[in-house]
Amino acid sequence: MAFAGNDLNDFMEGVKKRSPGETEFHQAVQEVAATILPYIEDKPEYKTNMILERMTEPDRVISFRVTWQDDDGNVRVNRGHRVQFNNSIGPYKGGIRFHPSVTLSVLKFLGFEQTFKNSLTQLPMGGGKGGADFNPKGKSDAEIMRFCQAFMTELSKYIGPDIDVPAGDIGVGGREIGFMFGQYKRMTNRFNGVLTGKGREFGGSLMRPEATGYGAVYMLEDMLHTRGLEIDGHKAVISGSGNVATHAAEKIIHRGGTVLTLSDSGGFIYDKDGITLERLQWIKDLKEKRRGRISEYADEFKGTEFHEGRPWNVACDMALPCATQNEINADEAEALVKNGCIAVSEGANMPTTIDGINKYQAAKILYGPSKAANAGGVATSGLEMSQNAAHISWKEEELSKLLRDIMSNIHAACEEYGKESDGYIDYMKGANIAGFRKVADAMLAFGAV
């Protein structure tokens, strides 16, 4: 695979030829290549060593059958994958997703993004991602356990604390990590830091559940500060009602902001007075304990509303997409801008389409892309790995401070590489270049491998 030049179209043609039909992966690569190709234009060492071409090809992709039995005794079959994308700066690290929409394209986009994100944290972690097209909705605890055990039975052959350290993602939270860690331990007779996001009793880190959502709000806060603004007194629209969304909402409220919406795949709730911390706790219980739907909020609390669809037409100052990829299209991005939104911080991975990002940037609003804005989660996973390796556990205050510092450093790196002549900060460009440099330099040191 040789590329004639550093023209974006030529480059993308090569990627598409090698990975046909993988549209999410193409989108993620295009977002990065659009800023990296101009950056390496006058840097022959990266070009002659084909660094970007090598970075867009995963080290390896592992796919396997996951066979399990449902509660009625039926044999069920799903497909599991682990994409070990790049381990140039540390063991592969990235979450596991259980959702019917999981395909190799989705996991390759996530693993590719993860490589840049992990580099941005400045911690020694490579990029990877895994998952299965399994739908956890409506499954009993026993079915979830049997699926997690079957999944880990295969996955355990390819992971380890110095090899590949998975974590949670959509559909994989504390319960699933517990089942998978239990199966890993049973199969290998090893108790180690092979997974992060573990329960506190068996090596999990304080602050890990909060880290992604809190981190996205810290990024938002740092972006607002560049314009002399605070979260206090401003209105936020948030999508999702899982781990990332609820913790982002919590930190917005801590900072004096108002959270107008949360959502799930059925629609969104609108609380014009702002979701309170008490109501947020009710949502966490609904989602984690009762496994209910967000629409129940409007039945429970008078004066609030449930609407089908996505929340991006609700007028707000700040938007935090925290559900899934491509959940904001160009029209929705335009609606956000038109209705007065001044900042977008992405808790979910690649939640805005390329056309949508163009709308933010044309309007020069503050835009924190996912690989920077949601890096707090994996950063705290990195801190969990350090604690496990040293057989210690750090206090909440230490971890909170480390997370805040890491997010500030990420913001500063984006500013350093993304500031334009008119003062506008292109955080996407900044994050891509800052993330690229460390991985690329490590790859140069290794020679042609």
From the list 10-18, 259-267, 391-399, 417-425, the region that binds ligand NDP by CB under 6 A is 259-267
Q: Which of 123, 279, 129, 120 is nearest to 205 (CA)?
A: 123
Residue 129 among the catalytic residues: yes
Question: Kind and range of the H or E element at 10?
Answer: helix 8-18
Exactly one of 129, 359, 429, 438 is catalytic; name it: 129
* 322 scored as a contact of ligand NDP (CB under 6 A): yes
- Closest distance of CB 264 from ligand NDP, Å: 3
Task: Show the site string, 71-110: x = touches ligand NDP by CB under 6 A, - = not.
Answer: ----------------------------------------
* 120 scored as a contact of ligand NDP (CB under 6 A): no
- Under rule CB under 6 A, which residues in 157-176 are in contact with ligand NDP? 168-171, 173
Query: In the chain, what is the straight-line distance between the N-terminal and C-terminal CA atoms, in Å?
Result: 15
* 280 scored as a contact of ligand NDP (CB under 6 A): no
Q: Which of 19, 183, 349, 353 binds ligand NDP (CB under 6 A)?
A: 349
Give the separation between CA 52 and CA 40, rounded to whole angstroms.
9
* 131 scored as a contact of ligand NDP (CB under 6 A): no
Task: Tell me the CA distances in angstroms from 434 to 15, 52, 177, 371, one per residue in order.
Answer: 22, 14, 31, 11
- Under rule CB under 6 A, which residues in 184-223 are in contact with ligand NDP? 212
Sheet holding 318-320, edge to edge: 305-307, 267-270, 258-264, 235-238, 318-320, 343-345, 366-368
* 242 scored as a contact of ligand NDP (CB under 6 A): yes
* 323 scored as a contact of ligand NDP (CB under 6 A): yes
Could you please report the per-residue DSSP string of 262-303?
Answer: EEETTEEEE-TT---HHHHHHHHHHHHTS---TTHHHHHSTT
Q: Which of 176, 264, 271, 384 binds ligand NDP (CB under 6 A)?
A: 264
Indicate the residue among 37 and 244 with the shorter CB distance to ligand NDP.
Answer: 244
- Closest distance of CB 391 from ligand NDP, Å: 24
Beta bridge partners of 305: 270
**Count of residues near ligand NDP by CB under 6 A:** 23
From the list 11-19, 141-149, 238-246, 401-409, the region that binds ligand NDP by CB under 6 A is 238-246
- Closest distance of CB 327 from ligand NDP, Å: 6
Q: Which of 361, 379, 374 is nearest to 427 (CA)?
A: 361
Cα of 276 vs its chain's centroid, Å: 25
One-letter amino acid at 26 equals H
Could you please report the per-residue DSSP string of 372-440?
Answer: HHTHHHHHHHHHHHHHHHHT----HHHHHHHHHHHHHHHHHHHHHHHB-TTS-B-HHHHHHHHHHHHHH
- Closest distance of CB 449 from ligand NDP, Å: 29
- Closest distance of CB 8 from ligand NDP, Å: 26
- Torsion angle, CA of 347/54/52/369, rounded to 10 degrees? 0
* 125 scored as a contact of ligand NDP (CB under 6 A): no
- Residues annotated catalytic, as ranges: 129
Q: By CB under 6 A, name the binding residues for ligand NDP.
A: 168-171, 173, 212, 240-245, 264-266, 322-324, 347-349, 374, 377
